[in-house]
Structure 1
Amino acid sequence: MLRTYARQMTSARRLARFRRSFTEVDEETATLRQAKRRLLVEQVSREIVENLVVTGSENPTVQSILSSLNREFGEQFQFQYPPAAIDLQVFRMTDQGAREVTGAEKQAVFKRLWEITLDKVSDTML
């Protein structure tokens, strides 16, 4: 009877170790998946901001991002890369024409554009 009990205890310890290692692997896998997804969302968002927003793409996601940005600021923005410049420029569309946005306001627009893009891409990704 004691031998049977000892075998049961040994088996129970072995199963407990197995379960613990299995749950640790699941947690690691979930963490890795989240990290991969976050990197993919950032990569797609970067492509949208650097390429599609500037070209005026007809992509529904891009249109949704721009309309959210314009609604939030209450103004119409246009983004473009000038021929001789490296940085993306932001223009506010007014009755007098396009006026360049600079300084802290430009940084605020870029920051909000990035946040909106990350949210939209994350929502639309599987």
Structure 2
Amino acid sequence: MTANSYQLKTMLRTYGRQLTSARRLERFKQSLAATAAEDDVQISRLAKRRMLVEQVSREIIENLMAAGSDNTVVQEIRTALEAEFGNSIELTYPPGEADMRIYKLTDDGPEEVSIEERNLIIKRLWDITLEKVDDTML
């Protein structure tokens, strides 16, 4: 690997992290605005747990799955997803876009999956993530 390609790869990785941070900050601002508008409501312990599980799951899906994290929960989720859809799936957030793109790696290169397949994969990703997070939380 040449020095230029290494520098380019490092720069792109840094840029990807900056985009992830920007998305996280935007969601945080939106959640603060929504929280400020809500009445103070007593929520049962179970409902609070469910909300926390969903919040952690959302963070995992939106920030760690596409970033290729070494986190054990992320690896377990990826393994379960690959068991259902094959290990040729790539999750990514293109620069400047808020929605995740899913590609299948083929002999001709990566191809974006159909809308129906994307929706199925994302639904399963969400279900698997909720289950894994719920199992690992105290």
Give the match's secondary structure for 2:77: helix
| Residue 96 (structure 1) aligns with | 108
Letter in 1 for 2:51: L
Letter in 2 for 1:86: A
Deviations 1:24-43 (A, max 9, x none): xxxxxxx8111011000000
Mapped partners of 2:134, 2:70: distance in 1: 19
Mapped partners of 1:50, 1:62: distance in 2: 11
Letter in 2 for 1:106: R
TM-score (norm 1): 0.72
| Residue 87 (structure 1) aligns with | 99
Give the match's secondary structure for 2:66: helix
Give the one of 48, 69, 72 matched to 2:81: 69
| Residue 39 (structure 1) aligns with | 51
| Residue 78 (structure 1) aligns with | 90
Give the match's secondary structure for 1:82: coil
Give 1:48 deviation, angstroms.
Answer: 0.1
Deviating runs (4+, > 6 A) in structure 1?
A: none
Letter in 2 for 1:83: P
| Residue 35 (structure 2) aligns with | none
Mapped partners of 2:45, 2:97: distance in 1: 38
Instruction: Identify, as 1 or 2, the structure richer in helix.
Output: 1
Letter in 1 for 2:114: T
| Residue 59 (structure 1) aligns with | 71
Give the match's secondary structure for 1:118: helix
Give 1:92 deviation, angstroms.
Answer: 1.0
Letter in 1 for 2:127: E
Mapped partners of 1:71, 1:113: distance in 2: 12
- Kindly, what percent of the aligned residue pairs are identical? 52
Equivalent pairs, count: 96
Aligned counterparts, 1:111-126, within 5 A: 111-126=123-138
Letter in 2 for 1:44: V
| Residue 50 (structure 1) aligns with | 62
